[in-house]
Structure 1
Amino acid sequence: MKKLILSISISLFLIACGSVKKTQEALNTGNYDLVINNAINQLKKNKTRKRKQQYVHLLESAYAKAVERDLSEIRFIQKERNPEKLETLYNLYVGLDNRQQLIKPLLPLPILKEGRNARFTLNDYSEEIIGAKDKLTAHLYEKASLSMLQNSGNKYTYRKTFDDLRYIEEISPNYKNVRQLMEEAHAKGTDFVLVNLNNITNKVIPKRLEDDLLNFNTYGLNDTWTVYHGNEIPEINYDFGLILDFRDIQVSPEQIREKQVIKEKQVKDGWKYALDTNGNVLKDSLGNDIKVDKFKTVRCELYEFTQFKAAKVDGQVRYVNYKTQQLIDAFPLTTEFIFEHSYADFDGDRRALDDRYRDLITVRAVPFPSNEQMIYDSGEDLKARLKAILTRNKFRR
């Protein structure tokens, strides 16, 4: 037991040493916040234990270096006066405040050998944060407003403007008319896709299937910047077209396939007395007559019928850029739906049949689905394949 305890202790010591070494390496390479996070996690429990002292030293050193690094960058940005660096300035002040908030719950942290507490410079950055936020908000608002006034027609520009406006809403909620501008930027940055069906098969596509295929609310494909419409809205200038071409629809004739199966089985058929070699009835240990089961072979002829009908739809999906009137890409789209129904009749002793055939003889023939129903029933698989194509292949300009 002592050896086991010693082994566990050595293992824990080695693990701890490895953790300290990695944290020290992070400090040496300038990854100060990783050091701080590792040290804080180690000191959350039993921060005064001797083996945790290394983490106190690492935390004190990493914190001081991280603060000095951030303040140095802040001083440079303030001298540079580049408005594009305002977001960096704001994030630096927020980072300084967040870092010290992580450390505050652990304080004081004693350094036992030196008889003192670890030193951490804590400041109130609220005024700096508010000031940087106000300047950043004003800058982003001015840039976004100018972008909207220029009316470039470039959807990616509007999307970038939308991101800036959303960031303003995040740090300065309800600032001026930001929400109104967000709606406008979103509308101008959105790609609208018109979906059409093109039937060149000389066969009628069921209206229900057409409605289902064009009901893009059920596909779950709409995202922040792409909206699909199955029905054209006149006031919208569509960016792309998605055209589903039906090129061939085939429905097989109604078929009934017949198969004969002959089954034989040994079944129990009453009982008889067990006899010895002399023809006398055998007795058990209690003197009772011994009875044994009688078996006979039964036979059954089964006629299995299978109703069969198939529908196959061949087509393609075409992506079209309506702005340039060019074909972007095309993908084949094929699906097949099979109707199959089995039932059976028999002649002979049904006891010869296994469970599957016993169930089958209770089933009767059913009406074949119409051609229209067959084509419609292929729609679910068609929708799944169409969705897979659209998911894998986003619109490209």
Structure 2
Amino acid sequence: MLKKLLPFSLLLLILSCSSVKKTQEAINYGNYDQAIQIAVKELRENKTKKGNQEYILMLEEAFEKATNKDLENLSFLKKEANPANLEVIYNMYLNLKNRQELIKPLLPLPIYAKKKNAKFSFTDYTNDILTTKAKLSDYLYTNAKNLLNNSINKVDFRNAYDDLNYLDKINPNYKDVRYLIEEAHFKGTNFVYVSLQNKSDKVIPMRLQEDLLNFDTYKLNDLWTVFHNNKQPKTTYNFEIEINFREINVSPEQIKEKEVVKEKEVVDGWKYLTDNNGVTVKDSLGNAIKVDKYKTIRCKIYEITQFKSVQVVGQVKYYDLFSNQLLKSFPLASEFIFQHRYATYSGDKNAMDQEYLNLLGYKYVPFPSNEQMIFDTSEDLKNKIKSIVSQNKIYN
């Protein structure tokens, strides 16, 4: 059975009633700006529509209550005279101004029952905004400079950085703020020196060392952490990450041969079908019946496997360079296997499976050197080092 669709006009009425209810609920709960947003949105579509009269009345009420609430809070904060409240005061003045700017394009808003327009008491907050911004700018600037000059705590430097960026946003090019932002960022940054120690009895290829220490490829630098594999002048390093190789085990070169015999029956011509007595069997037309004749073919396969492996075992160690203490260490291990298979045969290769046929296309290849084998662990080692460092940010 088909469901009856609600008439479009009835659907609009239901939605309108729901929106009116939400606006009134917002006012009742003191969420005046939410009520203003809903009412303004409805009135933008058609402010003269009779069905929208309720929104005008609620907008008038919500605006007055929101303004009075903000002005009361402002009065209290200004009497408290705490410079830490300047940002709140500044934003409240901006909110008062923006609330008015939201409503101004809709004016006038007629109230048909009262035969007059809705009343909104607007105030020019320009001087208040500029005065507060000047005081806030001076407070943020002075406080940030004090932290930069007197603190040794990176958290303080980062707070100064945030305050200075906010100051530059509300008051661009204020004094030497851009320079101070760079200073705060530098002082708040942890510089981490990355080194590699080889305590195994094997020589590490130079290109492996360079690859592992190239932390630019790890993409681990962030706003407050920078990794260097070469110490930079005039840079104080807070932490060191040491990649420590304890064992590098390279297996001997191994060649293993396996002999496999394959047999298969294949068609080898035809013969006449005979019964148990050796008499030729004929079909209904009297013709002798022919059947396939089979033979067994055989092939001996020599499967050769070349094998060599390397295992790198070590640790990733974190040091606090101010206290010269080992903070934590994490195990590090990687393995790379070289394996190459090929095959030769004798006999009829038509007896082979496809797997062995494929191996016939390969030949013996030279074993990679120990140096190459060790280098071939680099990609896996880098992934594991990156995982350790990204998941264990013990530096603050």
Same fold (TM over 0.5): yes
- 1:161 counterpart = 2:160: yes
Q: State the distance in 2 between where 1:369 and 1:103 align.
A: 77
Unaligned runs of 5+ in 1: 284-289
Cα gap change, 1:42 to 1:267, in 2 (>3 Å): farther
Specify the alignment match of 1:209 in structure 2. 208
User: Which region of structure 1 is more displaced relative to structure 2, 106-115 or 304-313?
Assistant: 106-115
Aligned position for 1:231: 230
Note if 1:102 corresponds to 2:106: no
Q: Matched residues in 1 for 2:302 and 2:48: separation? A: 86
1:25-174 pair list within 5 angstroms: 25-45=25-45, 54-109=54-109, 117-150=117-150, 152-174=151-173
RMSD: 3.5
Query: Paired residue for 2:377?
Result: 378
Distance 2:286 2:56 in 1: 95
Cα pair distance change 1:291/1:331, threshold 3 Å: same
Q: Structure 2 CA distance, aligned partners of 1:110 and 1:128?
A: 31
Corresponding residue to 1:278 among 256, 279, 282:
282
Specify the SS of the correspondent of 2:382: helix
SS at match of 1:351: helix
CA change 1:264–1:176 in 2 (3 A) is same
TM-score (norm 2): 0.84
Structure 2 partner of 1:303: 302
CA distance in 2, matches of 1:282, 1:71: 118
Question: For residue 326 of structure 1, what is the aligned residue in structure 2?
Answer: 325
Once residues 57 and 300 of structure 1 are traced to their aligned partners in structure 2, the CA distance between those partners, rounded to angstroms, is: 98
Q: Secondary structure at the match of 2:5?
A: helix
Q: What code does the residue aligned with 1:278 have?
A: K
Query: Secondary structure of 1:347's partner?
Result: strand
Aligned to 2:6, the other structure's residue is in SS state: helix
Q: Are 1:255 and 1:309, in contact at CA under 8 Å, matched by a contact in 2?
A: yes
Out of 121-130 and 374-383, give the one that drifted further: 121-130
SS in structure 1 of the partner of residue 30 of structure 2: coil
Mapped partners of 1:261, 1:113: distance in 2: 102
1:153 aligned counterpart, secondary structure: coil
* Worse-superposed segment, 258-267 or 5-14: 5-14
CA shift in 2, pair 1:299/1:67, >3 Å: farther
Find the aligned partners of 1:279 and 1:312 in 2 and give their Cα distance: 72
Taking only the aligned residue pairs, the percentage that are identical comes to: 52
Give 1:247 deviation, angstroms. Answer: 1.3
1-structure distance, mates of 2:270, 2:42: 82
> Once the 2 structures are TM-superposed, how far is the Cα of residue 121 of structure 1 from its aligned partner?
3.8
Q: Compute the displacement of 1:137 (Å).
A: 0.8
Instruction: Please tell me the residue identity of whatever aligns with 2:203.
Output: V
Tell me the alpha carbon deviations over residues 206-263 of structure 1, each in whole angstroms, 9 at most, x when there is no partner. Answer: 1111111111111111112211111122432211111111111111122223344444
Distance in 1 between residues matched to 2:384 and 2:217, nearest whole Å: 14
Q: Are the aligned partners of 1:273 and 1:282 in contact in 2 as well (CA < 8 Å)?
A: no
* Aligned match of 2:184: 185
Contact residue 307 and residue 342 of structure 1 kept, 8 A: yes
Amino acid at match of 2:282: N
Moved more, 191-200 or 291-300: 291-300
Change (3 A) 1:189 1:292: same
The structure-2 alpha-carbon separation of the partners of 1:82 and 1:359, relative to structure 1 and needing over 3 Å to count, comes to same
Aligned counterparts of 2:54 and 2:79: Cα–Cα separation in 1: 38
- Deviations along 1:319-355, whole A, 9 cap, x unmatched? 1111122222111111111222222223333334444
Compared CA separation, residues 258 and 105, structure 1 to 2 (3 A): farther
Q: Deviations over 1:119-163 (max 9, x none)?
A: 44444433322222122111211222233333x322222221122
Match of 2:195 in 1: 196
Per the alignment, residue 242 of structure 1 pairs with: 241
Any stretches of 5+ residues in structure 2 without a counterpart? 275-279
The 1:252/1:73 distance shift into structure 2, 3 A limit, reads same
**Cα distance in 1 for residues equivalent to 2:148 and 2:90:** 25
Tell me the distance in 2 between the aligned counterparts of 1:212 and 1:273: 74
Q: 1:64 to 1:149 in 2, by over 3 A?
A: same
| 1:253 is the counterpart of 2:257 | no
Residue by residue, what CA displacement relative to the aligned partner does 1:147-189 show, whole Å, maximum 9, x if unpaired? 3333x32222222112211111111111111111222222222
| Counterpart Cα distance in 2 of 1:178 and 1:61 | 43
What CA distance in whole angstroms lies between the structure 2 residues aligned with 1:76 and 1:282? 121
2: distance between equivalents of 1:63 and 1:26?
12
Check conservation: 2:250, 2:311, Cα contact below 8 A.
Answer: yes
Residue type of the partner of 1:325? Answer: N
Report the CA distance shift for 1:269/1:109 in structure 2 as closer, same or farther (over 3 A). Answer: farther
In structure 2, the CA distance between the partners of 1:278 and 1:146, relative to structure 1 (3 Å rule), is: closer
SS at match of 1:367: coil
- For residues 390 and 358 of structure 2, the distance between their equivalents in structure 1, rounded to whole angstroms, comes to 43
Alpha carbons 1:214, 1:231 under 8 Å: kept: no
